[in-house]
Amino acid sequence: MRIKRLKIDTYREYILYLRRDCDLCRAQGFGALSKVEVMANGRGIVGVLDVVDEPFLDSDQIGLCEYAYQKLGLPEGTEVNVRHPDPVRSVELIRKKIRGEVLRREDYRYIVQDIVSNRYSKVELTAFVVSTAQGAMERDEIVYLADAMAETGESLEWGREMVVDKHCIGGVPGNRTTMVVVPIVAAYGLTIPKTSSRAITSPSGTADTMEALAEVSLSLERLKAIVEQESGCLAWGGSFALSPADDIIIGVERPLNMDAPGQMIASILSKKKAAGSTHVLIDIPVGPTAKVASFTQAVQLRKLFEYVGDRMGVHVEALLTDGSQPIGRGVGPALEARDVMQVLRCDPDAPQDLLDKSLDLAGRIIEFDPAVRGGRGRATAEEILRNGAAHEKMLRLIAAQGAREPVRPGPLVREGLAARTGTVASVANHLVAKCAKLAGAPVDLGAGLDLLKKAGEAVREGEPLFRVHAEHEADLGFAWDYWQRHPEMIVIQ
Amino acid sequence: MRIKRLKIDTYREYILYLRRDCDLCRAQGFGALSKVEVMANGRGIVGVLDVVDEPFLDSDQIGLCEYAYQKLGLPEGTEVNVRHPDPVRSVELIRKKIRGEVLRREDYRYIVQDIVSNRYSKVELTAFVVSTAQGAMERDEIVYLADAMAETGESLEWGREMVVDKHCIGGVPGNRTTMVVVPIVAAYGLTIPKTSSRAITSPSGTADTMEALAEVSLSLERLKAIVEQESGCLAWGGSFALSPADDIIIGVERPLNMDAPGQMIASILSKKKAAGSTHVLIDIPVGPTAKVASFTQAVQLRKLFEYVGDRMGVHVEALLTDGSQPIGRGVGPALEARDVMQVLRCDPDAPQDLLDKSLDLAGRIIEFDPAVRGGRGRATAEEILRNGAAHEKMLRLIAAQGAREPVRPGPLVREGLAARTGTVASVANHLVAKCAKLAGAPVDLGAGLDLLKKAGEAVREGEPLFRVHAEHEADLGFAWDYWQRHPEMIVIQ
């Protein structure tokens, strides 16, 4: 059979296409959903078959979706062998897991290797994710999974004894503490080579917000030079294949909207270990509309983070924080970047909650330094902020990564008004996030919500509660409609 | 957007195709793996998006895979609305199940309705199957699932007080008892409108074996007329949408090679209830290479079958049978049909194990008749067989369904020889099944294995243990190679 490239994007699944009337389908009994191996010149991939009756394939051609074509890396027309693949052996381990058995360290290695080699179909990948979800993993199994994920991709080396990092488990809009913490910690002198993700389901990730100010796609050489010079950076982690299994697993977790503790911990700590971190602070926001709703649940999660970190040789501290409402005013890349810069400039209008939380986190990280007396971290962080060193460090990071024309909040604006006089009782994280996404965030960097009133503040009827910023009329309308249908987004009592 | 039909067979998943550069992808943020709803004239389907950069779509066209095109039922070029679908609400129930919660009767109804409406992607379907696997379902949940599956499709009515049926959970090659039992029971006078499946992962299903003798794809009218006349039939069940959820669920169970007890019971009993059965005998073969390996496990399964049957209003008896090796000699449609006819003709060469087991099962079914004294069923069955009434009934069923030119065993033959003199210690079910499939069964009706020696029989070195029958040289080679690599298929001691 000869290769034909079909520019079909199937999101990281190898889909292959054969004509129903081709000899192979008849002789080998291939049908839709069959797993098929394509081999040539010692390279091979295993994909899932779609059977076609379309003129776009000849009967001696095998179509490869774009992802498969790129992976195989052979030109169109190359003669390939097509055959039944050997069964993926680690799928038997998933069946074991489904039966409730405990898997061993090497079992997780086999599974993760097969995931990274793209030998799993979406069905098999989902079976793995679901079988290891909620309560189904012993805590040592989380260690095995995390280690296997960290080992399977690239890893970064910094040649320093202590490399610190922070990570928030998410769920709280705004909350862009990382961009305040990194300049403070780097200005203090600790090494904090922060790589962040873009938004997956949220209105902005740290990489999106930083992109409103500077370049974030950096080569490894560039990243290393900046960290060497500045002790820190605020880059997008997607350029490096740190824990690549994670990126593949997300492909099924996202449509299921799943985030089981074991997988979350393995995902986060595998990336941190591969990124060369020695000390990691985990931010666990707790609140009725956050990812973690109860204190008990949060404490369990903290202990699990610490246990797994210890076993992986990474010092992890997990901090329970207030996740009852968004942190800061802006929700969306440009609006959040504005908040961050206000805090760093010690602007009296800076959102106090973002300032406070950032100092707490930076203080705890500074206390990773054995020379710092317990409890003195926050005061040190505050001094670095007040004396302008953090702001200066941020400007140096922006310049080093490549400053961009600052993105302004979207020009189309509509204000959400208070329906009555009273006190704001609650601002719901998940509804604010959804509304900001409908406004266009994070794709439109200027889009999002600007929260003018937060829980506890007094409002009068008709006073603005928030502003929607958008780049397009339609998006402004979508966000506005959502607010009209979800007045529980901001409750006044 | 206008519909374009793409004749791509994706195995029961609605895949939709949009150009990456189309307005919709940009404006709505659709990407690969997005769920998308296509609506026109009050009809709608929800599918999963592949994004293409291929000339086979214009930027105002949405491509529909064949399954989606057939379901939507609108001609090419029809103007449709394309939008973000409402979330599939029952997916939240699956997340609950993953968290370990017990679901209610109405929850299973919502889930099964969404499955049958094809609102689940493969990822969501897999999440359902895995979350309800092994040990994760309370026994009442199995009842809820089975009832929901039975209610969601067509159902057959026979207008008789007692309608009997039998079902084997599978795993033992050969074992074509149904084709002996149905003629005996129908000749006795009980109503046994047997609809069977084709092979899914085995070398033959009852429908495949019957097809070596007669037509099996019957219209409902035809089926009813035959049952009215003959009290029985041996038809393919695939023509009727009995428990259609089951056929969709199989699409992910098969690649995972999963068969969790709860799902198996729900699958079998939902189809029986929808088929109008009032009394069902379940055959549970037990043996080291059968589906159920231990007696304890088999007893648990029997109790679960009986419990769920009672709650569904179907009288179920489950029988534990010898599953230590294949039943009968032939494995593959034509070879099994030959065994069946030998038994029915009371041929002295008929395989004794198939005869014995069929009489046991037929006897138990005859005892469903309140008029039959407990323990007298087998003798009654034997008499019906010995006096030729069962054979005559089979000939009448074949004639009524439409006799086919009997298929002969494949003309290409190779014998597997005993490597030493001794006694056959074991014949491994799963290896025999695999070998027969490599020979071409069930696609080639004449292909398969003819087992000449079974466990307990004496053999001399060089004596034939079995014959491979094939239609094609290549298949004969595949089966032969498999035997060379798996001498543990037949162990001599």
Residue A30 has pLDDT above 90, yes or no: no
* Crossing angle for the helix pair A178-188 and A333-344, to the nearest 10 degrees: 40
Contact (Cβ atoms closer than 8 angstroms) between residue B369 and residue B384 = no
User: Where do runs of H (alpha helix) occur along B189-260?
Assistant: 206-211, 220-230, 244-256
CA dist A214 and A197 (Å) reads 15
Q: Which residue from A9, A135, A252 is facing B123, i.e. has the nearest CB?
A: A252
CA dist A320 and A297 (Å) reads 11
- Is residue B259 annotated as a catalytic residue, yes or no? yes
Q: Which residue from B10, B52, B255 is facing A124, i.e. has the nearest CB?
A: B255
Average pLDDT of A237-242?
83
Contact (Cβ atoms closer than 8 angstroms) between residue A152 and residue A180 = no
Contact (Cβ atoms closer than 8 angstroms) between residue B39 and residue B83 = yes
- Domain A2-83 annotated CATH 3.10.129.10: no
Chain B residues whose CB is inside 8 A of the A33 CB are 10-11, 251, 254-255
| In chain A, domain spans | 2-83, 87-152+241-271, 164-238+275-401, 412-492
Matching CATH number, B88-152+241-266, of 3.40.50.2300, 1.20.970.50, 3.30.9.10, 3.40.50.2000: 1.20.970.50
Average pLDDT of B32-42?
86
Shortest CA gap B72–chain A (Å): 19
DSSP-derived letter for residue B489 is G
Shortest CA gap B129–chain A (Å): 8
Mean pLDDT of chain B: 93
Average pLDDT of A162-175?
96
CA dist B439 and B427 (Å) reads 18
Tell me the CATH class for B412-492.
Answer: alpha beta
Which of B435, B443, B432 is CA-nearest to residue B471? Answer: B443
Q: Note whether B134 contacts A99, CB cutoff 8 Å.
A: yes
Per-residue pLDDT band for A250 (boundaries 50, 70, 90) equals confident
- 3-state secondary structure (DSSP) of residue B162: coil
| pLDDT tens for each residue of A260-316 | 889 999 999 999 999 999 999 999 999 999 999 999 999 999 999 999 999 999 999
Q: Note whether A257 contacts B66, CB cutoff 8 Å.
A: no
User: Where do runs of H (alpha helix) occur along A74-170?
Assistant: 90-98, 105-116, 122-131, 139-151
Chain B residues whose CB is inside 8 A of the A11 CB are 31-33
A98, A101, A125, A478: best to mutate for the B interface, most B CBs within 10 A: A98
Is it true that A87-152+241-271 and A164-238+275-401 share their CATH fold? Answer: no
The pTM (predicted TM-score) of the whole model is: 0.84
A102-107 — which CB contacts under 8 Å span 24+ positions?
A: A102/A138, A102/A141, A103/A141, A103/A144, A104/A144, A105/A144, A105/A147, A105/A148, A107/A144
Q: What is the phi/psi pair of residue B460, to 5°?
A: -105, 155
Report the chain B residue with the minimal C-alpha distance to residue A257. Answer: B95
Mean pLDDT of chain A: 93
Give B118 or B105, the one with higher predicted confidence.
B105
Confidence at residue B415, expressed as pLDDT on a 0 to 100 scale: 97
Residue A216 has pLDDT above 90, yes or no: yes
Q: Note whether B51 contacts A9, CB cutoff 8 Å.
A: yes
Q: Which residue from B100, B121, B130 is facing A134, i.e. has the nearest CB?
A: B100
Q: Which residue has the tokens 């900001």?
A: A436
Residue A156 has pLDDT above 80, yes or no: yes
Confidence at residue A25, expressed as pLDDT on a 0 to 100 scale: 78
Q: Note whether A52 contacts B9, CB cutoff 8 Å.
A: yes
Report the chain A residue with the minimal C-alpha distance to residue B438. Answer: A28
Average pLDDT of A126-145?
91
Residue B27 has pLDDT above 80, yes or no: no
- CATH topology for B164-239+275-401? Pyrimidine Nucleoside Phosphorylase; Chain A, domain 2 (3.40.1030)
Average pLDDT of A428-437?
95
CA dist B34 and B27 (Å) reads 14
Q: Note whether A17 contacts B8, CB cutoff 8 Å.
A: yes
For A2, the enclosing helix (H) or strand (E) is strand A2-5
Q: Note whether A10 contacts B50, CB cutoff 8 Å.
A: yes
Which of B192, B161, B174, B168 is CA-nearest to residue B397? Answer: B192
Q: Note whether B50 contacts A8, CB cutoff 8 Å.
A: yes
Residue B135 has pLDDT above 80, yes or no: no
Q: Which residue from A7, A127, A134 is facing B130, i.e. has the nearest CB?
A: A127
Per-residue pLDDT band for B118 (boundaries 50, 70, 90) equals confident
| pLDDT tens for each residue of A334-355 | 999 999 999 999 999 999 999 9
Q: CATH code for A164-238+275-401?
A: 3.40.1030.10
One-letter amino acid identity for B135?
A: G
| pLDDT tens for each residue of B311-336 | 999 999 999 999 999 999 999 999 99
CA dist A465 and A332 (Å) reads 17
Per-residue pLDDT band for B463 (boundaries 50, 70, 90) equals very high
Per-residue pLDDT band for B12 (boundaries 50, 70, 90) equals confident
Those residues with Cβ within 8 angstroms of residue B352's Cβ, 6 or more apart along the chain or in another chain: none
Q: Note whether A7 contacts B54, CB cutoff 8 Å.
A: yes
| Residue in B86, B208, B259, B322 annotated catalytic | B259
Q: What is the phi/psi pair of residue B365, to 5°?
A: -70, -40
Chain B residues whose CB is inside 8 A of the A10 CB are 32-33, 50
Q: Which residue from A56, A65, A256 is facing B56, i.e. has the nearest CB?
A: A56
Q: What is the phi/psi pair of residue B467, to 5°?
A: -120, 135
Chain A residues whose CB is inside 8 A of the B56 CB are 54, 56
Confidence at residue A233, expressed as pLDDT on a 0 to 100 scale: 97
Burial of residue B4 (number of CB atoms within 10 Å: 0-12, 13-18, 19+): middle
Catalytic residues of A: 259
Tell me the CATH class for A87-152+241-271.
Answer: mainly alpha
Per-residue pLDDT band for B164 (boundaries 50, 70, 90) equals very high
| pLDDT tens for each residue of B371-395 | 999 889 999 999 999 999 999 999 9
One-letter amino acid identity for B109?
A: R
Q: Which residues pair with B82 in a beta bridge?
A: B38
Strands B464-470 and B448-451: antiparallel
